[in-house]
Structure 1
Amino acid sequence: MGRIRTPVGTREPERSNMQSVFDSRDPRYKDPFGALPTGKSADLTLRPPRSMGFSGGAAVARSEFSGGVMEYPLVWTGMEGTCDVFSGKLPAGKTPDLIWYCFRFFRSDGSIRYFGAGGWRKKAPEEFQLTVYEETGTSPDWFGQGVTYQIFPDRFFAALPVVTSGFVGKRRLHGGWEEEPDYLPDENGEIRNDDFFGGNLRGILRKLDYLKTLSVETIYLNPVFEAASNHRYDTADYTRIDPMLGTEEDFRILCREAGQRGMRVILDGVFSHTGSRSVYFNAGGGYPSLGASDSMDSPYYGWYRFESWPEKYSSWWGIKTLPQVNEMAPSYLDYILTGNNSILRRWLRAGAAGWRLDVADELPDAFLELLRKAAKEEKPDAVILGEVWEDASNKVSYGLRRRYLLGKELDGVTDYPFRDALLLFLGGGRAEEFRERMETLREHYPPSAFYSAMNFLGNHDTPRVLTLLGAGEDLSGAPRSQRAEFRLSEAERLRGGRMLKLAALLMYAFPGSPTIYYGDEAGLEGFEDPFNRRPFPWGKEEKELQSWFGKLGRLRTLRPSLRRGDLEYRAARGPLLAISRRLGGEETVAAVNVGAEPAVLALPWAKETAEDALSGEALPVRDGKVSVLLSPWGGICLTE
């Protein structure tokens, strides 16, 4: 696992006024950087001005989960210029935790001042965060190194024949692959998501060689189990591949054939709720067995929370077709996780390499711990990823601070903060802000979690990135008919494509797995669901964009520095952002200029040669430096 380095003296302007006292990201003040394993300590050094007259100090540490508050002495060790130097240690403790810390200084007259993340205060200030995690050694290092490709199965490719019967729910099969997904409410005012295009597992199998041209190493499938809707987040039967997608044998073949091409397949685990039209709930009586809505004697009755059986029950976000489950019900735990033939184990045995967990915020910490334990017992290198939209190290969900990244639950998360920061930068933000947001994450996350992030530009829950970048706005509030008909103009498409190429360059250069949402590389457009779930445009791909993603994928595959190297910011000022990845003697630098004016970037360069790996252009190296001229909305990938 790579170490991440940030050059001294490149912090944000708002931090600079505090740096001379303490900078939690600088090893001269706190060493080691970032999160700490249990049982370790951080060395602290503070440099308050001599004029403040302090005679002593202490680090004040508050433990989130144990609830204790401890003070650790800071000892005067001398002077540096006009500053006193106080040093001490901050122990991580023996159990995983979040430690919130600040500093208390006192004078000989008894007066005190506090120093925290917001600077000097007379009372307790804003605290710094220290994540204390358990080093279990069970997070696989394969995920995060290579490219991930996300597939919404119904819309990727339909290999003939398409199954048209034998499944739950009424379905409408589109007559043409290029038709618009249904987006208007039915006669009852509901959007049922019951229109299908017929994409299937055999279709994905047929396109494995295409995925290989993109250097894909992980295929992430949106739900594949039997369900009534086209998105299949309303699971009807966890034991059965949806018949329109294929069979369990088709899934096994897909995993095997993918493996022969160096790819792994991970599944979408939807365990916080089921579908109402499921074998477990059985609203409408679609299954011959007794579901929870049929009888209180149903073996599944205890899975659900009924306020008044059978009509009133807890459902996900109030959507009655998605009844929530009691995840900690013993029979549910046995069925999904802990039993010898549990759903989790069954599909890992069938060939899955791991699970991406839908709405991880809805799943109790105890459930996630049992899930991880069962997965690692079954397949030690299985990866467990969680859908989390915020900083996962300190997320509060339903009033509880979550423990996702403390070593017993998730290996990594969906990196929405990365997407948000990158799109903000491309939309006119400053490189300093992008770096600040990402530095906050890497300071908070254990290294294995930071390197196991699922980095993406868009997915099935967000508008298509090309549309956002090209249009320059999100029309989510516009009438659905307007959003359905919207297409980028030629000028907007050119603009969006140029920006998307730079976004992809940065994503592929960043730690974590660069994740392509199917069709983004081919130029698919669309705002939010269902317009972001249009069928893949086979035969009408944006070839230049597709080639760009293919080239980035090959670089990610061939260069170890991009797969697991250290991270360093070479430049972050205004519209100019340059990041370096280094491993051993190999260095790769990705630099972009999102401004309207050319920008010159001069970098120290230890090698005798330099080349832009994207264009093949050789760049002169003189006196140990390489000078790069970046055109407006231009980018390079600098290699030796």
Structure 2
Amino acid sequence: MLFSHDPHHDGSPDYVTLDGNRARLRVRVPGGADAVYANVVEDGESGLVEGELEHTADGVSWFAVHIPVQEVVTSYRFAIVRERRYTWLNQAGAHDHEVTDDGNFRLVNAPNPPSWVPGTTVYQIFPDRFARDDDSLGPLADHPDWAVPRAWDDEPAGFGPAAPGEYYGGTLEGVRRHLDHLAELGAQVVYLTPFFPARSTHRYDASSFTEVDPLLGGDEALNALTREAHARGMKVMGDLTTNHTGDEHEWFLAAKADPDSEEAGYYYFDEHPDDYVSWLNVRSLPKLDYSSAALRERVYGADDSVLVDRLGGEEGLDGWRIDVANMTGRLGAQDVNHEVSGEIAARMREAAPQAWLLAEHFYDAGPDTRHDGWHGVMNYAGFTRPVWAWLNTGPEGVRYAATHTSAPLPSSGAAEAVRAMRATNAGLPWRVRTHSVNALSTHDSARFRTVVGDPVRQAVGVAAQATLPGVPFVFAGDEIGLEGRDGENSRRTMPWHRPQDWDRQVLASHRRLLALHRELPALQSGGLRWLDAGEHHMTFLRTLGEQVVLVHLTDGPHGDRIAAPEELDAAGFEVVASEGQARVRPGEKVELSAEGPGYAVAVGTRA
């Protein structure tokens, strides 16, 4: 699949300039065109706005179209006309036929999300499995009644009724003790899965939102961790469940005790007190009902609400990841998800303007992001699944989904993965995509190392997450080659006392590639232009101002030659990172080749 001759536009600063209530949109058209129009949708009606030719060089014409910015979202695509034949250009690419509005480019007319996010790297920590207060390794004698104590080197059992109770004894002080490791890796955001009290080690069944679980060290331990992280220039993100609480939560206990209480309106009772709606019918996770104005105040409206209370300041959080964001405010015919997410975003902006609001979303997040709401999403659909489908080696017993399923891992070539990424990301406004995360593993999935089987293929995936639009996201242990066959089994402990078991090659790959993301502005907020994709490779450009970054990812033998992009000054073109057997050589034609898996990243300036 050769994309280098396709017209191109994206939401990056090279292509979109805002001036008050108008936007200047630039389109790159190889081979030129008779005319270029922006098809703009306003109040459900579309119209064509004609552009003007800016200049032509090296066989490429640049057009500019000036359009008004709508009050909430400006939706547009382009019609490129050559001898009365139309090529339609939207976020999914170029089409020789009429397309719908669904894949349109979108400008969200709202205050910008935090500016620091696109340049950062997230490190996810499941506190119970990261590190204890001390270096002890045996099962802990002091534990709550629901817990099943495990030795630090025990392997988690995986899916099953015992999984939530497996207790290893990691703490927030344990996290603080190992911040040097994060700094050396290049991680800048410490993302903690829930730290509220609960009756499980995953803690998504919170029993209170007013304190930090004493098992993790309490509020004092969280405050000490955030203070030290901030002193190091790091940020700390919490994990908030807006969709449900635990069945031992103080709100739910009050709701069950009195059907006329305020708290009874926080939940869905079919028949009080024992017949209630829960998340995916898991009885321990009763679902919250956002038709209750009082609930909205408790969760995010009031100054001492769950959302606001811990944001900002030396000891405060720098953002929230919202668990089950896609289901929040939704049940049957009721759907107030956009209303609630908009109110949460506005409230965070008031309380902490530079706090990041990241939404969990396993599937098509596009329709939930086309308004002033979530800053970004966990981009499973637009990054994780396509990369898994391409690079996985089909290991037995490994499943992608967070819950158990008999469906096998999908398998595809690189070209199909590119098509999947383009199709799924077409639904996201550009600013949402750059504030979303590129994860290879999370606490809800198998480990990427188990999926791909070897360090070089794993490094190809890391190269993808560091160079494609979005924020690199590392689940603690991925950087040293930890394995896991499902979302429970992957929650393995960090082997701090067994450094001989660390995969140093993979650790070096992470450090090298995360440093590139941190150092190259084009990899943070630059545009994305696909150049080429085949069964075993994908190649693309990231560009911002004068900087051009060419990325070549491959999983097997191939050879290809594509025309050198006119942006690239071959004389200043330099490979800055490579591993495995990927090769990139500049010239009038860029030579892309490989005899096996690998990646190459090259940097140059515009010609």
Q: What's the TM-score once normalised by structure 2's chain length?
A: 0.78
How far residue 71 of structure 1 moved from its aligned partner, in angstroms, is: 5.3
Q: Residue 233 and residue 38 in structure 1: after superposition, are their counterparts in 2 closer, same or farther (change >3 A)? A: farther
Deviations 1:71-127 (A, max 9, x none): 55989x9xxxxxxxxx99896663335859899x9xxxxxxx999899788xx9755
Q: What residue number does 1:315 align with?
A: 278
Determine if contact 2:559/2:594 at 8 Å carries over to the other structure: yes
Output aligned runs, 1:282-301, within 5 Å: 282=253, 291-301=254-264
Q: What residue number does 1:380 align with?
A: 353
How large is the RMSD of aligned CA atoms in angstroms?
A: 4.4
Q: Residue 419 and residue 425 in structure 1: after superposition, are their counterparts in 2 closer, same or farther (change >3 A)? A: same
Q: Residue 137 and residue 310 in structure 1: after superposition, are their counterparts in 2 closer, same or farther (change >3 A)? A: same
How far residue 386 of structure 1 moved from its aligned partner, in angstroms, is: 0.8
Deviations 1:342-394 (A, max 9, x none): 1111111441101111111122222111111111111110111111123422x
Q: Residue 441 and residue 192 in structure 1: after superposition, are their counterparts in 2 closer, same or farther (change >3 A)? A: closer
Matches of 1:632 and 1:128, distance apart in 2: 38
How far residue 171 of structure 1 moved from its aligned partner, in angstroms, is: 1.6
Structure 1 residue 129 corresponds to structure 2 residue 93? no
In structure 1, which of residues 331, 340, 357 is the aligned counterpart of residue 322 of structure 2?
A: 357
Q: Which amino acid aligns with 1:181?
A: P
Determine if contact 1:414/1:454 at 8 Å carries over to the other structure: yes
Matches of 2:483 and 2:438, distance apart in 1: 20
Q: Residue 253 and residue 73 in structure 1: after superposition, are their counterparts in 2 closer, same or farther (change >3 A)? A: closer
Determine if contact 2:244/2:285 at 8 Å carries over to the other structure: yes
List gaps (5 residues or longer) in structure 1. 1-8, 47-57, 78-86, 106-112, 283-290, 396-401, 471-495
Q: What residue number does 1:507 align with?
A: 465
Structure 1 residue 177 corresponds to structure 2 residue 142? no
Q: What residue number does 1:420 align with?
A: 385
Q: Which amino acid aligns with 1:368?
A: S
Q: Which amino acid aligns with 2:278?
A: S
Matches of 1:379 and 1:424, distance apart in 2: 38
Output aligned runs, 1:46-195, within 5 Å: 68-70=44-46, 94-97=70-73, 126=100, 129-160=103-134, 170-174=146-150, 176-183=151-158, 190-191=161-162, 193-195=164-166
Q: Secondary structure at the match of 1:219?
A: strand
Matches of 2:460 and 2:244, distance apart in 1: 38
Structure 1 residue 566 corresponds to structure 2 residue 527? yes
Matches of 1:330 and 1:541, distance apart in 2: 50
Structure 1 residue 233 corresponds to structure 2 residue 204? yes
Q: Which amino acid aligns with 2:153?
A: E
Matches of 2:184 and 2:515, distance apart in 1: 8
Q: What residue number does 1:582 align with?
A: 543
Q: What residue number does 2:407 align with?
A: none
Matches of 2:584 and 2:242, distance apart in 1: 56
- Give the number of aligned pairs: 550
Determine if contact 1:602/1:628 at 8 Å carries over to the other structure: no
Q: Which amino acid aligns with 2:468?
A: F
Q: What residue number does 2:193 align with?
A: 222
In structure 1, which of residues 368, 375, 378 is the aligned counterpart of residue 341 of structure 2?
A: 368
Matches of 1:358 and 1:114, distance apart in 2: 43
Structure 1 residue 458 corresponds to structure 2 residue 441? yes
Q: Residue 248 and residue 163 in structure 1: after superposition, are their counterparts in 2 closer, same or farther (change >3 A)? A: farther
Q: What residue number does 1:345 align with?
A: 308
Q: Residue 274 and residue 92 in structure 1: after superposition, are their counterparts in 2 closer, same or farther (change >3 A)? A: farther
Structure 1 residue 541 corresponds to structure 2 residue 499? no
Q: Residue 500 and residue 138 in structure 1: after superposition, are their counterparts in 2 closer, same or farther (change >3 A)? A: same
Q: Secondary structure at the match of 1:326?
A: coil
Determine if contact 2:300/2:344 at 8 Å carries over to the other structure: yes
Determine if contact 1:36/1:130 at 8 Å carries over to the other structure: no
- Larger deviation, residues 126-135 vs 212-221: 126-135
Matches of 1:573 and 1:499, distance apart in 2: 17
Q: Secondary structure at the match of 1:466?
A: helix
Deviations 1:320-362 (A, max 9, x none): 1100111241221111111111111111144110111111112
Structure 1 residue 249 corresponds to structure 2 residue 220? yes
Q: What residue number does 1:595 align with?
A: 556
In structure 2, which of residues 348, 359, 373 is the aligned counterpart of residue 409 of structure 1?
A: 373
Identity of matched residues, % = 25
Determine if contact 1:328/1:367 at 8 Å carries over to the other structure: no
Q: What's the TM-score once normalised by structure 1's chain length?
A: 0.74
Matches of 1:574 and 1:192, distance apart in 2: 39
Deviations 1:234-254 (A, max 9, x none): 111111111111111211111
In structure 2, which of residues 429, 433, 438 is the aligned counterpart of residue 446 of structure 1?
A: 429
Q: What residue number does 2:478 align with?
A: 520
How far residue 442 of structure 1 moved from its aligned partner, in angstroms, is: 5.3
Determine if contact 1:457/1:516 at 8 Å carries over to the other structure: yes
Q: Secondary structure at the match of 2:238?
A: strand
Q: Which amino acid aligns with 1:361?
A: N
Matches of 1:429 and 1:184, distance apart in 2: 27
How far residue 172 of structure 1 moved from its aligned partner, in angstroms, is: 2.2
How far residue 203 of structure 1 moved from its aligned partner, in angstroms, is: 0.5
Q: Residue 507 and residue 253 in structure 1: after superposition, are their counterparts in 2 closer, same or farther (change >3 A)? A: same
Matches of 2:86 and 2:589, distance apart in 1: 44
Q: Secondary structure at the match of 2:250?
A: coil
Q: What residue number does 2:331 align with?
A: none
Determine if contact 1:97/1:131 at 8 Å carries over to the other structure: no
Higher Rg of the two aligned structures: 1
Determine if contact 1:567/1:582 at 8 Å carries over to the other structure: yes
Matches of 1:234 and 1:184, distance apart in 2: 17
Q: Secondary structure at the match of 1:515?
A: strand
Q: Secondary structure at the match of 1:635?
A: strand
List gaps (5 residues or longer) in structure 2. 30-36, 54-62, 329-336, 393-410
- Larger deviation, residues 506-515 vs 32-41: 32-41
Q: Residue 305 and residue 100 in structure 1: after superposition, are their counterparts in 2 closer, same or farther (change >3 A)? A: farther
Matches of 2:190 and 2:225, distance apart in 1: 10
How far residue 164 of structure 1 moved from its aligned partner, in angstroms, is: 6.9
Q: What residue number does 1:392 align with?
A: 365
How far residue 11 of structure 1 moved from its aligned partner, in angstroms, is: 3.6
Q: Residue 214 and residue 439 in structure 1: after superposition, are their counterparts in 2 closer, same or farther (change >3 A)? A: same
